[in-house]
Structure 1
Amino acid sequence: MCKMKKLLGSIVSDWSRLQRQTYATSFVTPDIPVLPSTDHIARKYQGLDYDTVQRIKEAHVVPCIKSLNSKPLLINEAHMQWLYDHTGKRYLDMFAGIVTVSVGHCHPRVTEAAKSQLDKLIHCSNLFQHSAMYEYTRKLVKTLPPHLNVIYLVNSGSEANELAILLARLYTKKQDVIAFNSAYHGGTHLTQTLTALATYKYPRNNAPGIHHALMPDVYRGIWGGARCRYSPIQTKRYCECPPNQCDATNKSYEQLVNAFQYNVPITGAAALIAESIQGVAGVKEFPRYFLRKAYEMIKSTDGLFISDEVRNIVRSGTR
Structure 2
Amino acid sequence: MAGRLRRLGGVAFRQQKWKSSLSTQAKMPPCDFVPEKYESYPYERMQKIREQNIAPSLKTYYKRPLLLHQGHMQWLFDHEGRRYLDLLAGIVTVSVGHCHPKVTMATQKQLARLWHTTNIYMHPAIHEYVEKLTSLFPDPLKVVYLTNSGSEANDLAMFMARLHTRNFDIICLRGGYHGGSPYALGLTSLTSYKHGVANGFGCTTGVNGAVQYPRNFLKEAYQLIRERGGLCISDEVQTGFGRTGSHFWGFQTHGVVPDIVTLAKGIGNGFPMAGVVTTKEIASSLAQNLHFNTFGGNPLACVAGAAVLDAIEEDDLQKNSEDVGTYMLLELAKLRDKFEIVGDVRGKGLMIGVEMVTDKDSRCPLPAEEISQIWEDCKDMGVLIGRGGLYSQTFRIKPPMCITKRDVDFAVEVFRTALQRHVKKAAAK
TM-score by length of 1: 0.68
Give aligned pairs, total.
226
Describe the SS at the equivalent of 2:161.
helix
Matched, 1:313 2:240: yes
SS at match of 1:161: helix
Residue of structure 2 equivalent to 1:118: 111
Q: Does 1:300 align with 2:227?
A: yes
Q: Distance in 2 between matches of 1:95 and 1:313?
A: 15
Q: Per-residue displacement from partner, 1:152-195 (whole Å, max 9, x unpaired)?
A: 11111111111111111111112222222111111011110111
Greater shift after overlay, 47-56 or 170-179?
170-179
Shift of 1:34: 2.4
CA positional deviation for 1:129: 0.8
Q: Residues 146 and 207 of structure 1: is their aligned pair in 2 closer, same or farther, counting only changes over 3 Å?
A: closer
State the AA in 2 paired with 1:40. Answer: F
What secondary structure does 1:92 align onto? strand
Q: Which amino acid aligns with 1:302?
A: G
Task: Find the aligned partners of 2:21 and 2:130 in 1 and give their Cα distance.
Answer: 53
- Please name the residue that 2:209 is paired with: 282
Report the Cα offset of residue 207 of structure 1. 2.7
- Tell me the equivalent position of 2:185: 192
Structure 1 unaligned residues grouped into runs of 5+: 1-27, 213-278
Equivalent of residue 49 in structure 1, options 31, 42, 46? 42
User: Distance in 2 between the 1:312 and 1:55 partners?
Assistant: 37
How far apart are residue 135 of structure 1 and its match?
1.1
Q: Distance in 2 between matches of 1:290 and 1:39?
A: 46
Structure 1 position 32, deviation (Å): 3.6
Equivalents in 2 of 1:52, 1:311: separation in Å? 34
Code of the aligned partner of 1:155:
N
RMSD: 1.5
**After the TM superposition, which residues 201-216 of structure 1 pair with which residues of structure 2 at under 5 Å, given as runs?**
201-212=194-205
Task: For 2:142 and 2:57, locate their aligned partners in 1 and report how far apart those are by CA, in whole Å.
Answer: 40
Where does 1:39-118 land on structure 2 (aligned, <5 Å)? 39-118=32-111
Matches within 5 A, 1:11-50: 29-30=21-22, 31-50=24-43
Unmatched runs of 5 consecutive residues or more in structure 2: 1-19, 250-429
CA positional deviation for 1:29 = 3.0
Structure 1 residue 82 displacement after superposition: 1.4
Q: Aligned to 2:138, what secondary structure does the other structure show?
A: coil
In the TM superposition, residue 282 of structure 1 has moved relative to its aligned partner by 0.9
For residues 211 and 68 of structure 2, what CA distance do their matches in structure 1 show?
Answer: 32
Q: Which residue is equivalent to 2:161?
A: 168
Give the Cα separation in 2 of the matches to 1:183 and 1:33.
34
> Secondary structure of 2:145's partner?
coil
Counterparts of 1:205 and 1:67, CA distance in 2? 27
AA in 1 matched with 2:140: H
Kindly indicate which of the two structures has a greater share of residues assigned to strand: 2
Instruction: Give the Cα–Cα distance (whole angstroms) in 2 for the partners of residues 178 and 84 of structure 1.
Output: 41
Query: 1:199 aligns to what SS in structure 2?
Result: helix
Deviation at residue 91 of structure 1 after TM alignment: 1.6
Largest Rg, 1 or 2:
1
The share of aligned pairs that are identical, in percent, is 45
| Alpha-carbon distance between aligned partners in 2 of 1:73 and 1:304, rounded to the nearest angstrom | 43
